[in-house]
Structure 1
Amino acid sequence: MGVEGGLKCVKILLFLFNFIFWLCGLALIIVGILVQVSLHNTFMINDAAASGVPIVIIAVGVVIFFIAFFGCCGAWKENYCMITMFAILLSLIIIVEIGAAIAGYFFRNKLSAIVHDSLTEMITNYKNTTAEFRDSVDNLQKRLKCCGMNSSADWKGFASDGNTVPDSCCLNVSSNCGKGAMTDPTKIHQEGCRNALETLLKNNILWVIVAALVIASLQVMGIVFACMLMRGIRSGYEVM
C-alpha cells in the first residue's frame, strides 16, 4: 500500500508539473515573440542569425504547449505508452532548449557586428526607402534617446548643409527641430545608438537564455516523475 500511495503522489505531481510545463510553453512563446518583434519590427535588423534563437524558442514553446497537454492525459489515464512518449519528447525538447541557450550565448558575442551593419544600413537608406523603414529608425532614436550610430555626426550626409539631422534626434521632437542643429547639445542627442541598442538586445537575449535553462531544469524533474510512474505502471501497481 505504501508503494501504491507513493505512486499516486507521483501521478499527481506529474500532472501538476505538466500544468506548469503548459504555462512555461506559453511563457516561451511570449518571450520569443517579444524578442523577435524587438529585433525586427522596432530595429529593422535583417541579419538571418538574429532570427534563429527567438524562432527556436517560439517553436519549442509551441511544442511544449501541446506536449504538456499530452502528458497530462497520459498521467491521468495511467497510459504507459503516452507517458513513455511524453518522456522521450520532453528529453528531445530539453536538448533543443540547451542548444538554443548555447546559440543565444554565442549570438550575444555577434551583436556588435550585427548592430553596426544594421545601423549603417538604416542611416544610408533612410532617405531612399519606405515610410515604414523611416518610422522604425525614428522610433529607435526616440526610444533610446540617441542619434546616428556613434554620434549625431553620422547624419552629415542627411542634408546638403551637412549640419541637419532627422527630427527624431531632437531632445524635444518637433517639425524641423533637427535643421542646422547637428552639433547643438541643447537641441540634439549627441550620443549614438550603437551602445544603447547593443545593451538592449543583449538583455533580450539574456532573458531567452534564462527562460530556456529554467524551463529545461523543470522538465528534468518532469522526466524523473514520468519514469517513476512508468515503472510503477509496468510493475502492475494500482496508483488510484
Structure 2
Amino acid sequence: MISMVMVAVGVYARLLKHAEAAMACLAVDPAILLIMVGVLTFLITFCGCVGSLRENICLLQTFSVCLTVVFLLQLAAGVLGFVFSDKARGKVSEIINGAIVHYRDDLDLQNLIDFGQKEFSCCGGVSYKDWSQNMYFNCTATNPSRERCSVPFSCCL
C-alpha cells in the first residue's frame, strides 16, 4: 500500500513540474527515484504476500532472494560509505554547493535546502560563505539583488 502511495507521489511530482534545476545539481531526479523505489517495493511485497497466501514456493523464494539482495546491497553501501568516507564527504559537499548555486531556480530544491539548514542548524555546506556562489546572495558590486551580501532566512534559525 505504501509503495503505491510512493509511486503516486512520484508520478504526481514528475507531472506537476519538470525539474530542470534539480537535475542540474542532483544526479537523479527525486521524483523518478521515488517511482523506482515504489515500484520495486511493490513488486517485492507482492511476491511475499501472494506467495504466502497461495503457499506458492516459487514466489516465496523470489521474495526471499529479493530481500537478501536488498540487504546485501545496503550492507555493501554501508561498508563502501565507511571505507570511502572522505570521497563520500567530498561528493556530498559538491552536491550541496551545486544545490546552493541553483537555490532560487527550483522551489522544491529551495525547500529541501531550507529544511536541511533548519534541521541541522547550519548555514551552507561548510559555512555561510558558501552562499557567495549563488547569484542572488553574492556580494559583488554588480549584483542588483536585494538579497546581496546576505544568506537565506533558514540560516538564521
Do Structure 1 and Structure 2 share a fold, with TM-score over 0.5?
A: yes
Question: Does the aligned pair in 1 maintain the 2:50–2:59 contact within 8 Å?
Answer: yes
Within 1, Cα distance between the matches of 2:73 and 2:34?
Answer: 9
Query: AA paired with 2:112?
Result: S
Q: 2:72 aligns with which of 92, 99, 105?
A: 99
Within 1, Cα distance between the matches of 2:120 and 2:130?
Answer: 16
1:133 and 2:109 are equivalent in the alignment: yes
Unaligned runs of 5+ in 2: 11-21, 141-147
Query: AA paired with 1:117?
Result: E
The equivalences for 1:1-240 within 5 A come to: 29=3, 46-48=26-28, 58-75=38-55, 82-83=56-57, 85-105=58-78, 106-107=80-81, 109=85, 111-127=88-104, 129-157=105-133, 158-160=137-139, 163-171=149-157
Query: AA paired with 2:90?
Result: A
The alignment's TM-score, normalised by the length of structure 1, stands at 0.40
Question: Does the aligned pair in 2 maintain the 1:57–1:97 contact within 8 Å?
Answer: no
When the two structures are aligned, how many residues end up with a matched partner?
126
Within 2, Cα distance between the matches of 1:56 and 1:135?
Answer: 23
The alignment's TM-score, normalised by the length of structure 2, stands at 0.56
Structure with greater contact order relative to length (CA < 8 Å, sep ≥ 6)? 1
Partner deviation per Cα, 1:203-234 (whole Å, 9 max, x = no partner) = xxxxxxxxxxxxxxxxxxxxxxxxxxxxxxxx
Partner deviation per Cα, 1:79-100 (whole Å, 9 max, x = no partner) = xxx33x1343134314422332
Question: Does the aligned pair in 1 maintain the 2:132–2:149 contact within 8 Å?
Answer: yes
Question: Does the aligned pair in 1 maintain the 2:124–2:130 contact within 8 Å?
Answer: yes
Partner deviation per Cα, 1:83-135 (whole Å, 9 max, x = no partner) = 3x1343134314422332234312564541331111111222335x2344333
How many percent of aligned residue pairs carry the same amino acid? 22
- Superposition RMSD on alpha carbons, in Å? 3.9
Unaligned runs of 5+ in 1: 1-25, 37-43, 76-81, 172-240
SS at match of 1:145: coil
Within 2, Cα distance between the matches of 1:122 and 1:96?
Answer: 32
